[in-house]
Amino acid sequence: MSARDQSVKSAVSRERPAGLPPAAAQDLADRPARPSRAGRPAKPGARSVEGRLLARLLDYLGRPPLEFILWTGERIAPPGTAIVACVRVSSRATLLGILADPQVRFADAYCEGRLEIEGDLVQLLETVYHAGRNGPPPSAMQRLVERLRRPPINTLSRSRENIHHHYDIGNEFYSLWLGETMAYTCAYYPTPTATLDEAQNAKMHHVCRKLRLRPGETVVEAGCGWGMLAMHMARHYGVKVRAFNISREQVAYARERAAREGLSSQVEYVQDDYRNISGHYDAFMSVGMLEHVGVDNYPELGQVIARSIGSNGRGLIHSIGRNRPALLQPWIEKRIFPGAYPPSLAEMMRIFEPYDFSVLDVENLRLHYAQTLRHWLELFETASSRVREMFDEKFVRMWRMYLAGSIAGFTTGALQLFQVVFAPRDNNDVPMTREHLYTR
Amino acid sequence: MSARDQSVKSAVSRERPAGLPPAAAQDLADRPARPSRAGRPAKPGARSVEGRLLARLLDYLGRPPLEFILWTGERIAPPGTAIVACVRVSSRATLLGILADPQVRFADAYCEGRLEIEGDLVQLLETVYHAGRNGPPPSAMQRLVERLRRPPINTLSRSRENIHHHYDIGNEFYSLWLGETMAYTCAYYPTPTATLDEAQNAKMHHVCRKLRLRPGETVVEAGCGWGMLAMHMARHYGVKVRAFNISREQVAYARERAAREGLSSQVEYVQDDYRNISGHYDAFMSVGMLEHVGVDNYPELGQVIARSIGSNGRGLIHSIGRNRPALLQPWIEKRIFPGAYPPSLAEMMRIFEPYDFSVLDVENLRLHYAQTLRHWLELFETASSRVREMFDEKFVRMWRMYLAGSIAGFTTGALQLFQVVFAPRDNNDVPMTREHLYTR
């Protein structure tokens, strides 16, 4: 895997907002431009203003073991640490941008080629995540700024735009690195050596078993991606599925594939918002949609589920989550997933509490998501020249950064993956134990 | 099992506060006493003032299928329902008490023999729970009263009193109906036919496997009951255990039994509050204590856990819970478990969020608790004449009501049982799947 030569700052956890205090960054930006010292090595021990501010930023980030090499040749690294990777910054303007807003501008600079990295990207991002936990607590100003950034509010039309932004950039692109199943969610590795396709199939069986799907039952799926889970449920569990998705391209793909596989009579794909789900079903399934819903809409999602499954159904929600409430890393939210927000478990309860659902089972699969992403990144790098042809170099770097940053998020516990099984309070037709999930 | 002839109102869920509006009850209490009509059957269709108010209470409770027979012979039942059980009320004063505060006075009247029940107690309580969900929404006044009842605040000394109240009433009493293991918490039934002792042993293995205890490790247990889980961990998993409990009688029993079984060098029982836990351990275990902690103390409990297991341990908390925040049924809180409060899952997160713990696994075992309680009630009824000798008839009735009401709470989903496994965010030494729990 050639996941080297890449960037670092997408890993800065939103839990400790990064960036110099605005006054300091402004102070630097206001200085008169100095003559470039490019090519002239800095005197040992002497530091430029930029170097001093950068060192301050590194202190603030908990001193991750990174060395920065400026356009002047000046080298800045936290003292006394074994360096994991080097970051080459190409210009003063680039550095100023990073100092002012490291969480967005660092990754942007990498994508635009104004910054290069020498070292293993994932390992580098992991050390930044770890270091971030040792930094000083955020200042009052940073906490205020953090508070002013609100979680996204996803109306019907906003949701359509957000989903279009990410999922409608071409089915061919996704088919290059998602594997046979086109499942764009955390897989389940029953053994550490399972392949991506094996693990995606195992995940689909795992969630179906958790819902104990039985032949002849009906399932509504909220957010069905390219439709493979719906087909899997129909094929292996004999259920009828109505699957909702607002991504035009995904629904077109799903319908075509279901027709080709002779499953059109059992699976119906509806290009519509989960809020417009109607009808009554035995089970509710949602894998990888909740991240796009937004906490404000959780009670409405609960209402949709309650009216869909009545008092005897059951449901499963699979979602990226957090140990505690935190906004999405700003670069990811801005460039990759507008409107996305992975909830804490307590926040997820806002779906269930108003409708008296009983949570039956929660499984945290974060290390499975790290492994899934490793497989995706490997396939992505293999296909990177094709991706470059389809889009451009900036796009390749952007997706590399996003996939590598996500691996680091899951391996360091900044991100979680929760599978939550629930049922209406009155439903006693639930399995006594979970042993049935593990008998083959 | 002679769990008949018993009472009903402990089942009124706190989620819909019961009781007539205070003004109506006061109105009735202010009336001049009428000459008793005892023995004279009421005219068909005609209703006394008491009968009309009782009918209103039944409406308010969602019309549970119960018939009330008053001291006058008058019969009141919701129209058009198949009656499950009869409630005989012995006097006007008893009825007035029930009308004013049904959630406490109904069970009190039963315990004091001023009220008799004909029918199966558990079934009766279950129908009341179910009916309660169909009643009208609470009035503004009732919601206000509900809000004024605050969750308990358990200081060190208050906790000691509360625990003393319930657990220090005699080890012999508990030994009559808890079975061999003296485990006073939800058992785990791997098969529906498991006996109580088998299920308690299976539970102990289940929680040890969830923590993946390994020989030579150290465990701190918060709230150890009569000490059997600590001995089980030492005996079967080769760990050293420090077990905390503030119940004098339980600790005395545990120490004596551990000595008898030759486990004193591996298990240390400390008669102290969980807040005073010191030292570093590989794992934190708490089965059935959280109900006595109180939500306000959850962050402090989290702090105790964080300093106990550092960044590489893991922990398990097993507790009665709720689908959503609700105070304990008032009679149970007043007579059985002062200071107790079963939390919702979201409330439990107040333990974990401040310390960035990752929740790895939640299992809801509410139907296992119903089965455990059925076994306890059966043993209790078998031993009831001995209990009557040790205490009195009122005590027997009180415990019968508590056990039967708890069964109904779990079968109807008013109560849940959560086993939560968690680990510090940085701990990647966690099992990838839960299969190891189910391979024998």
Distance in Å, alpha carbon of A421 to nearest chain B alpha carbon: 10
Return mean pLDDT, chain A: 88
For residues A145-161, average pLDDT: 76
Q: Which of chain B's residues have a Cβ under 8 Å away from the Cβ of A299?
A: none
Q: Which of chain B's residues have a Cβ under 8 Å away from the Cβ of A428?
A: 367, 411, 413
Distance in Å, alpha carbon of B384 to nearest chain A alpha carbon: 30
Q: Say yes or no for a CB contact (<8 Å) between B362 and A361.
A: yes
Cα–Cα distance measured from residue A331 to residue A18, given in angstroms and rounded to the nearest whole number: 12
A345, A372, A416, best to mutate vs chain B, most B CBs in 10 Å: A345
Q: For the structural domain made of B156-438, what CATH number should be given?
A: 3.40.50.150
- Assigned token pair, B193: 């036919």
Residues 101-160 of A with CB under 8 A from B: 130, 133
For residues A147-166, average pLDDT: 77
What is the per-residue pLDDT for A174?
94
Angle at A48 between CA A47 and CA A54, to 5 degrees: 85
Distance in Å, alpha carbon of B107 to nearest chain A alpha carbon: 25
For residues A418-434, average pLDDT: 96
Residues 18-77 of A with CB under 8 A from B: none
Q: Say yes or no for a CB contact (<8 Å) between B430 and A367.
A: yes
B205 touches chain A (CB under 8 A): no
- On the question of pLDDT at B43 being above 70, the answer is no
Q: Say yes or no for a CB contact (<8 Å) between A323 and B438.
A: no
B16, B298, B312, B364, best to mutate vs chain A, most A CBs in 10 Å: B364
Q: Say yes or no for a CB contact (<8 Å) between B357 and A323.
A: yes
What is the per-residue pLDDT for A198?
98
Q: Which of chain A's residues have a Cβ under 8 Å away from the Cβ of B350?
A: 346
What is the per-residue pLDDT for A168?
76
Cα–Cα distance measured from residue A100 to residue B365, given in angstroms and rounded to the nearest whole number: 51
- On the question of pLDDT at B167 being above 90, the answer is no
Most confident of A32-36, B90-94, B140-144: B90-94
pLDDT band at B34 (very low <50, low <70, confident <90, very high): very low
- On the question of pLDDT at A33 being above 90, the answer is no
For residues A302-323, average pLDDT: 97
Choice among A92-106, A137-151, B174-188, B209-223 with the minimum mean pLDDT: A137-151
Q: Which of chain A's residues have a Cβ under 8 Å away from the Cβ of B367?
A: 428, 430, 432
What is the per-residue pLDDT for B155?
86
- Assigned token pair, A403: 């996939």
B6 touches chain A (CB under 8 A): no
What is the per-residue pLDDT for A155?
86
Distance in Å, alpha carbon of A367 to nearest chain B alpha carbon: 7
What is the per-residue pLDDT for A2?
39
Distance in Å, alpha carbon of B323 to nearest chain A alpha carbon: 6
Q: Say yes or no for a CB contact (<8 Å) between A323 and B356.
A: yes
Q: Say yes or no for a CB contact (<8 Å) between B368 and A413.
A: no
B193 touches chain A (CB under 8 A): no
- On the question of pLDDT at B273 being above 80, the answer is yes
- On the question of pLDDT at B376 being above 50, the answer is yes
- The predicted-structure confidence for A335-368, as pLDDT tens digits, reads as follows 888 889 999 999 999 999 999 999 999 999 999 9
Q: Which 3-state string (H, E, C) describes chain B?
A: CCCECCCCHHHCCCCCCCCCCHHHHHHHHHCCCCCCCCCCCCCCCCCCHHHHHHHHHHHHCCCCCEEEECCCCCEECCCCCCCCEEEEECCHHHHHHHHHCHHHHHHHHHHCCCEEEECEHHHHHHHHHHHHCCCCCCCHHHHHHHHHCCCCCCCHHHHHHHHHHHHCCCHHHHHCCCCCCCCCCCCCCCCCCCCHHHHHHHHHHHHHHHCCCCCCCEEEEECCCCCHHHHHHHHHHCCEEEEEECCHHHHHHHHHHHHHCCCCCCEEEEECCHHHCCCCCCEEEEECCHHHCCHHHHHHHHHHHHHHHCCCCEEEEEEEEECCCCCCCHHHHHHHCCCCCCCEHHHHHHHHHHHCEEEEEEEECHHHHHHHHHHHHHHHHHCHHHHHHHCCHHHHHHHHHHHHHHHHHHHCCCCEEEEEEEEECCCCCCCCCCHHHCCC
ipTM for the complex shown: 0.89
C-alpha Rg value of chain B to the nearest Å: 23
Q: Say yes or no for a CB contact (<8 Å) between B362 and A359.
A: yes
pLDDT band at B439 (very low <50, low <70, confident <90, very high): confident
What is the per-residue pLDDT for A218?
98
Number of Cβ within 10 Å of residue A376's Cβ equals 21
Return mean pLDDT, chain B: 88
A202 touches chain B (CB under 8 A): no
What is the per-residue pLDDT for A13?
33
B425, B429, B437, best to mutate vs chain A, most A CBs in 10 Å: B425
Closest residue in B to A413 (Cα–Cα): B425
Choice among A17-31, A311-325, B238-252, B348-362 with the minimum mean pLDDT: A17-31
Higher pLDDT, A30 or B45: B45
Choice among A261-265, A321-325, B128-132, B392-396 with the minimum mean pLDDT: B128-132
For residues A286-310, average pLDDT: 96
- The predicted-structure confidence for A34-87, as pLDDT tens digits, reads as follows 444 444 444 555 689 999 999 988 988 889 999 999 999 999 998 888 899 999
Distance in Å, alpha carbon of A356 to nearest chain B alpha carbon: 6
Higher pLDDT, A29 or B249: B249
Identity at B173, one-letter amino acid code: F
- The predicted-structure confidence for B240-261, as pLDDT tens digits, reads as follows 999 999 999 999 999 999 999 9
What is the percent of chain B where pLDDT is above 90? 72
Looking up tokens 């069964």 gives B407
Looking up tokens 């000046």 gives A74
Which residues contact residue A92 at a Cβ distance below 8 angstroms, ignoring those fewer than 6 apart?
A33, A36, A50, A71
Q: Say yes or no for a CB contact (<8 Å) between A428 and B411.
A: yes
Looking up tokens 């003292």 gives A79
Question: What are the CA-CA distances from residue A194 to residues A189, A197, A366, A368 (Å)?
Answer: 6, 8, 16, 11
**Closest residue to B361, CB basis, from A350, A364, A368:** A364
pTM for the whole structure: 0.89
What is the per-residue pLDDT for A99?
92
- On the question of pLDDT at B388 being above 90, the answer is yes
Distance in Å, alpha carbon of B182 to nearest chain A alpha carbon: 23
Q: Say yes or no for a CB contact (<8 Å) between B353 and A368.
A: no
CA torsion sign for A191, A192, A194, A197 is: positive
Closest residue in B to A190 (Cα–Cα): B433
- On the question of pLDDT at A230 being above 50, the answer is yes
* CATH class of residue range B22-35+49-137: alpha beta
In chain A, residues under CATH classification 3.40.50.150 are 156-438
Q: Say yes or no for a CB contact (<8 Å) between A323 and B416.
A: no
- The predicted-structure confidence for B331-359, as pLDDT tens digits, reads as follows 998 888 888 999 999 999 999 999 999 99
Q: Say yes or no for a CB contact (<8 Å) between A432 and B354.
A: no
Number of Cβ within 10 Å of residue B134's Cβ equals 11
Choice among A143-152, A318-327, B51-60, B365-374 with the minimum mean pLDDT: A143-152
Distance in Å, alpha carbon of B408 to nearest chain A alpha carbon: 12
- On the question of pLDDT at A151 being above 90, the answer is no
What is the per-residue pLDDT for B440?
65
Closest residue in A to B360 (Cα–Cα): A364
Question: What are the CA-CA distances from residue B344 to residues B289, B327, B370, B372, B414 (Å)?
Answer: 15, 10, 18, 21, 11
Which residues contact residue A291 at a Cβ distance below 8 angstroms, ignoring those fewer than 6 apart?
A319, A320, A337, A340, A341, A342
What is the per-residue pLDDT for B165?
77
What is the per-residue pLDDT for B8?
30
What is the percent of chain A where pLDDT is above 90? 72
Q: Which of chain A's residues have a Cβ under 8 Å away from the Cβ of B438?
A: 433-435, 437-439
Residues 273-332 of A with CB under 8 A from B: 323-325
B357 touches chain A (CB under 8 A): yes
In chain B, residues under CATH classification 3.30.1050 are 22-35+49-137
Question: What are the CA-CA distances from residue A205 to residues A199, A436, A438 (Å)?
Answer: 10, 12, 11
What is the per-residue pLDDT for A46?
66
What is the per-residue pLDDT for A338?
86
What is the per-residue pLDDT for B202?
98
What is the per-residue pLDDT for A11?
30
Instruction: For strands B314-321 and B283-287, give the pairing.
Output: parallel
Looking up tokens 């293999």 gives A382
Q: Say yes or no for a CB contact (<8 Å) between A345 and B359.
A: yes
Distance in Å, alpha carbon of B290 to nearest chain A alpha carbon: 17
Closest residue in A to B324 (Cα–Cα): A353
B202 touches chain A (CB under 8 A): no
Q: Say yes or no for a CB contact (<8 Å) between A190 and B433.
A: yes
Choice among B36-40, B84-88, B199-203 with the minimum mean pLDDT: B36-40
Distance in Å, alpha carbon of A411 to nearest chain B alpha carbon: 7
What is the per-residue pLDDT for A3?
38
pLDDT band at A154 (very low <50, low <70, confident <90, very high): confident
- Assigned token pair, B237: 């998993």
What is the per-residue pLDDT for B377?
98
- On the question of pLDDT at B35 being above 80, the answer is no
- On the question of pLDDT at A380 being above 50, the answer is yes
What is the per-residue pLDDT for B44?
52
What is the per-residue pLDDT for A163?
76
Distance in Å, alpha carbon of B436 to nearest chain A alpha carbon: 9
Counted across chains A and B, CB pairs separated by less than 8 A come out at 127
- The predicted-structure confidence for A238-290, as pLDDT tens digits, reads as follows 999 999 999 999 999 999 999 999 999 999 999 999 999 999 999 999 999 99
